[in-house]
Structure 1
């Protein structure tokens, strides 16, 4: 790939890899029998480690792509068309996130289950996009260095102070809002600290945009990613322990004992390095289509696996019941099925939307026609009801 290309194919390939790893991760984690979850088993332990890489990569790539598109256009601030599109996209992801947790049977009974208010990946990515837009609008017309500095600063602050704010219950907020900040009610993800991966992705995209025409872009980016990733994985914990011993600040010790954020960030840098090294092989049409269809794939996998709307998903019937052979073969089939359905949907997306619009238009016309037919009857009933009430009031008065 040429360094001045406006399309970063390796990013699309990373996003495709991340969504496929998310599918198999959710499938295996949800359906594998607990008896086979042995951390002393090298295969399972390796799978578990790589499963933990998926979400950080997905959030980072999402922040990278959105920021890359945001700053690529010449307009600044509110004049930037990507701002409006981003706000619409962020709100759309929030809406879809809630819809996927809706249970129609509960609604028919006049009840909204507590799980509806839990926060998941789509909620956090939607809010992350809105957060990046907020940082952009605040900083873009000030100093040119302020936007990338704030993006990097948000990541560092969120990751550094995670041991501090993760103990907060946020009990002063309604549960629906508290779920964005605490896992105590059952949320899978929270906006803090996960926004930090999106902002570091945005920071990296700014660097790529500024140096996109440099012939040394990829050699420097690859070597830097390997170096930074290795330091974060192998040395960041010891560095925080040494900071604690030197300063006596308990926060650094708390990070040392649960240093997953910085280590996972190191994993993200190494994944970036691998995909940049292999970037010349990342322009396969199918891979790029998968990378561009992550939302459709995610929605379909959620419906099939967790039973959105009906509760009748694979998780309900096969929850923690499969052996390794069945769960691995099932995960492969599950990835193929969800990807095929998503690509098929995207191919006919406009046709499907047009048909849905026609159905709603037909329903609207039928409703209007039914109202017009019923209007004289309703008018007659109204007059009779009015006459009846006047007689009742007259009788009571006398």
Structure 2
């Protein structure tokens, strides 16, 4: 029974990661190559695609926090002796280093310089630092109950989302760009630690609950119902809840927080996706597809090189940037997703590159 439950758990987690990385691949391809004339927000298909693309990053960050913390809290009270602590710090640093390496252009290095954009913060740097922050929080709370740890993580999500308008206005000019890029988009950073760490911390919050109760009878039934209800509240009522709190307290902070209600709404959509994968978890047993979810890091690296020309400077976006028709983009996206996924799985079957990150 234990082996069966463990297998189902892995299917469930890998299926979510597979969905997230496939959404990212097609989203980046279309966003980079679709001609401007076809980017019509009045077009229903483009509007739906654009909205779903906005969910990809929140889903990816939430899932990443979920799987990392789920493995971390299996030995919750070990603290510094927890083997996941050392592995987590190493992996966090690895992600950050790989992120920076992908942004360095060999042409600049060959000329004896380095491109100015090498130190902007993108998804890998943000995710790497987020993992390290989760570990720091864990090491502070491991002597306390898991409930305290999980509630703190949830509180971090709420605060980071609610305070978004405030900390974006802070002055980071006194901090060196290399570090300030984690907090401000002024220099071109895409994924600053706030608010994106909020999605990771919420995934960690869910992971603690999942780790505590997933072996209990009917867990999935009650979990799915609860998650759907939470998602509905966040999607349909985030703005109204913040507005009502503002009217009750009269605090200007909540007036500013109204601008950030969309973050809570996106988190609600992420919860719907979680519930959907949980509902159909028994059907996600296609091993090739699950292996995609086990290789998200190498897939991300390869897609960056092929699409954006990371390191080399020669990618598809250099030659076809915002120039393709919808038909070519759709066909190209399918080929791109299949090629990148198949190439990584083929190599992984020989050298097990997934072990570099997931084991």
1:162 corresponds in structure 2 to: 164
How far apart are residue 72 of structure 1 and its match? 1.3
Mapping 1:332-371, distance limit 5 Å:
332-349=334-351
Deviates more, 1:236-245 or 1:269-278: 236-245
- In the alignment, the residues of structure 1 paired with residue 216 and residue 268 of structure 2 have an alpha-carbon distance, to the nearest angstrom, of 25
| SS of residue matched to 2:215 | coil
Unaligned runs of 5+ in 1: 354-398
Q: Deviations over 1:143-199 (max 9, x none)?
A: 443211221111111111111111224111111111111111111111111111111
1:385 corresponds in structure 2 to: none
Residues 169 and 29 of structure 1: is their aligned pair in 2 closer, same or farther, counting only changes over 3 Å? farther
How far apart are residue 248 of structure 1 and its match? 2.1
2:332 corresponds in structure 1 to: 330
How far apart are residue 73 of structure 1 and its match? 3.1
How far apart are residue 284 of structure 1 and its match? 1.5
- In the alignment, the residues of structure 2 paired with residue 154 and residue 239 of structure 1 have an alpha-carbon distance, to the nearest angstrom, of 18
Is the 2:77–2:143 Cα contact (8 Å) retained in structure 1? no
2:217 corresponds in structure 1 to: 215
1:176 aligns with 2:178: yes
Deviates more, 1:288-297 or 1:234-243: 234-243
1:243 corresponds in structure 2 to: 245
2:107 corresponds in structure 1 to: 105
| SS of residue matched to 1:235 | helix
- In the alignment, the residues of structure 1 paired with residue 352 and residue 25 of structure 2 have an alpha-carbon distance, to the nearest angstrom, of 26
Q: Deviations over 1:323-369 (max 9, x none)?
A: 11111111111101110111122122269x9xxxxxxxxxxxxxxxx
How far apart are residue 260 of structure 1 and its match? 1.9
Is the 2:77–2:142 Cα contact (8 Å) retained in structure 1? no
Q: Between Structure 1 and Structure 2, how many residues are aligned?
A: 352
1:6 corresponds in structure 2 to: 6
Superposition TM-score, scaled by structure 2 size: 0.94
How far apart are residue 255 of structure 1 and its match? 2.7
- In the alignment, the residues of structure 1 paired with residue 192 and residue 229 of structure 2 have an alpha-carbon distance, to the nearest angstrom, of 29
Deviates more, 1:73-82 or 1:114-123: 73-82
How far apart are residue 11 of structure 1 and its match? 1.8
1:271 corresponds in structure 2 to: 273
Residues 119 and 282 of structure 1: is their aligned pair in 2 closer, same or farther, counting only changes over 3 Å? same
* Match 1:118 to one of 96, 120, 124: 120
2:283 corresponds in structure 1 to: 281
Q: Deviations over 1:51-108 (max 9, x none)?
A: 0111111001100100011111376111111111111111110110011111111011
Mapping 1:86-101, distance limit 5 Å:
86-101=88-103
Is the 1:169–1:182 Cα contact (8 Å) retained in structure 2? no
2:298 corresponds in structure 1 to: 296
Unaligned runs of 5+ in 2: none
2:28 corresponds in structure 1 to: 26
Which of structures 1 and 2 has the bigger CA Rg? 1
Is the 2:17–2:63 Cα contact (8 Å) retained in structure 1? yes
RMSD of aligned alpha carbons: 1.8
- In the alignment, the residues of structure 1 paired with residue 257 and residue 35 of structure 2 have an alpha-carbon distance, to the nearest angstrom, of 32
| SS of residue matched to 1:59 | helix
1:59 aligns with 2:55: no
- In the alignment, the residues of structure 1 paired with residue 72 and residue 347 of structure 2 have an alpha-carbon distance, to the nearest angstrom, of 27
* Match 1:261 to one of 251, 260, 263: 263
Is the 2:308–2:316 Cα contact (8 Å) retained in structure 1? yes
| SS of residue matched to 1:38 | coil
- In the alignment, the residues of structure 2 paired with residue 88 and residue 174 of structure 1 have an alpha-carbon distance, to the nearest angstrom, of 24
* Match 1:318 to one of 312, 317, 320: 320
- In the alignment, the residues of structure 1 paired with residue 284 and residue 162 of structure 2 have an alpha-carbon distance, to the nearest angstrom, of 34
